[in-house]
Amino acid sequence: MADEPRRRYDNFLHQNLNILHGAVLRNGQVTEQELLDAFRQYQDDGEIRLPLQVPANRERQDQRVRLIFGSAIFLFVLIATPLISIGLEYAISIRCLVPNNYLVWEATRPVSNCDFCRNVRGPLIFGNLTQEEFKPYAYSSSPMILKNAISHWPATKLLNYTFLRDLYVKIPGALDSVQIDCQFLHFKSNFLTLRDVFAMSQSRAEFRKGEAPWYVGWSNCHPQVLTELRKLYPRPHFLPEDAEMPNTDFIFLGYEQGAVMHLDYIPRLMWQGQVKGNKSWILAPTPECDSQCRSFSFYVEPGDAVLVDTRLWYHGTYVPKGEFSLTIQSEYG
What is the per-residue pLDDT across 96-151, written as a single tens digit (0 to 9) for each? 344 556 566 666 678 889 999 999 999 999 999 999 999 999 999 999 999 999 99
Q: In what order do the strands lie in the sheet with 314-318?
A: 296-300, 279-284, 314-318
What is the per-residue pLDDT across 174-227, written as a single tens digit (0 to 9) for each? 999 888 888 999 998 999 999 999 999 999 999 999 999 999 999 998 999 999
Say what the pLDDT of residue 65 is: 61
Pairwise CA distance, residues 74 & 62, whole Å: 18
- φ and ψ of 228, to 5 deg: -65, -45
State the average pLDDT over residues 10-22: 54
Mean pLDDT estimate for the chain = 81
Res. 164: pLDDT tops 70: yes
State the average pLDDT over residues 306-313: 95
Confidence of residue 279 (pLDDT cuts 50, 70, 90): very high
Say what the pLDDT of residue 63 is: 66
Confidence of residue 295 (pLDDT cuts 50, 70, 90): very high
Distances (CA, A) of 282 to 294, 300, 319, 328: 11, 11, 12, 18
Say what the pLDDT of residue 265 is: 87
Q: Which amino acid is at 254?
A: G
- φ and ψ of 18, to 5 deg: -65, -40
Q: Which amino acid is at 269?
A: L
- Closest CA relative to residue 20, chosen from 84, 71, 92: 71
282 within 8 A of 297, measured Cβ to Cβ: yes
Residue 187: Cβ within 10 Å count = 17
- 245: Cβ contacts below 8 Å, ≥ 6 apart: 235, 239, 330, 331, 332
Which contiguous run of DSSP H or E holds residue 116? none
Window from 35-49, 77-91, 188-202, 294-308 with minimum mean pLDDT:
35-49
